[in-house]
């Protein structure tokens, strides 16, 4: 998709706040700090649509972005190491689960993992949830500029193994910093959109 315009719609906690209308939605999920905001910005070719470096309070919310008046990008709260307290975990779980359970116009999940790290237990849970949901999904390995090409290949193998992904399903390597892999990721997204139409 050629992104001609992209705009922030709303930060929501409860389903009542989700945007109205019937735009299909693509949700982005991953651990805090995985590079989710940076990837969204790279996909829409802007520096500042999604807030990088998680502003206070915004991190527990679901951020909706309107892309070309055609689709919504849905930035789900990051999970993982920032959630020290059980109450935080509960809130995150509630916010994200509610969205995933009630939103029937969600049709593609983009799950992000850091190319440098073995997937965490939360990543494995997220992946299993996606599988069980039957949604279309794309797994993306972020920050590839931080490793060599050879290391990237090796780490993608490990990521697939740890998540339990079938060999034939690709993991898309991207660097938001160097803007590599972005075109390929858009092609993969477009393919899912075309199938849906």
> Which spans of this chain sit near ligand GDP (rule: CB under 6 A)?
30, 32-38, 52-54, 78, 142-143, 145-146, 175-177
The rounded distance, in Å, linking the Cα atoms of 114 and 102 is 28
Pick between residue 188 and residue 193 the one whose CB is nearest to ligand GDP. Answer: 188
For residue 82, the minimal CB distance to ligand GDP (Å) is: 9
For residue 151, the minimal CB distance to ligand GDP (Å) is: 14
Residue of 164, 154, 92, 156 whose CA lies nearest to 121: 164
**Residue recorded with tokens 């849970």:** 125
The rounded distance, in Å, linking the Cα atoms of 137 and 96 is 16
For residue 140, the minimal CB distance to ligand GDP (Å) is: 11
For residue 31, the minimal CB distance to ligand GDP (Å) is: 7
Pick between residue 177 and residue 193 the one whose CB is nearest to ligand GDP. Answer: 177
From residue 17, alpha-carbon distances to 13, 76, 179 in Å are 7, 14, 33
Pick between residue 6 and residue 142 the one whose CB is nearest to ligand GDP. Answer: 142
DSSP percent split of the chain into helix, strand, coil, nearest 5: 40, 25, 35
For residue 196, the minimal CB distance to ligand GDP (Å) is: 26
**Residue recorded with tokens 């999940």:** 109
Pick between residue 147 and residue 193 the one whose CB is nearest to ligand GDP. Answer: 147
For residue 147, the minimal CB distance to ligand GDP (Å) is: 10
Pick between residue 82 and residue 135 the one whose CB is nearest to ligand GDP. Answer: 82
Pick between residue 16 and residue 149 the one whose CB is nearest to ligand GDP. Answer: 149
From residue 20, alpha-carbon distances to 29, 51, 53, 95, 106 in Å are 22, 23, 28, 18, 13
Which positions ≥6 away from 4 have C-beta within 8 Å?
Answer: 68
């Amino acid at each position: 998709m050629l992104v001609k315009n992209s705009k922030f719609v709303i930060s929501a906690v409860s389903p009542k706040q989700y945007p109205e209308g019937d735009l299909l939605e693509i949700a982005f999920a991953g651990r805090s700090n995985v590079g989710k905001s940076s990837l969204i910005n790279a996909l829409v070719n802007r520096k500042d649509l999604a807030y990088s470096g998680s502003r206070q309070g915004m991190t527990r919310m679901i951020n909706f972005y309107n892309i070309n008046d055609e689709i919504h990008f849905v930035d789900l709260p990051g999970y993982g190491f920032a959630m020290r307290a059980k109450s935080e975990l509960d809130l995150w779980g509630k916010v994200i689960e509610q969205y995933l359970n009630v939103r029937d116009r969600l049709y593609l999940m983009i799950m992000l993992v850091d190319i440098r790290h073995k997937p965490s237990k939360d990543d494995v849970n997220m992946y299993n949830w996606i599988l069980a949901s039957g949604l279309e999904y794309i797994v993306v390995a972020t920050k590839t500029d931080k490793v060599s090409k050879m290391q990237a290949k090796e780490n993608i193998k490990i990521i697939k193994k740890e998540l339990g992904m079938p060999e034939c399903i690709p993991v898309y390597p991207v660097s938001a910093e160097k803007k590599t892999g972005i075109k390929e990721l858009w092609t993969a997204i477009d393919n899912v959109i075309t199938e849906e139409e």
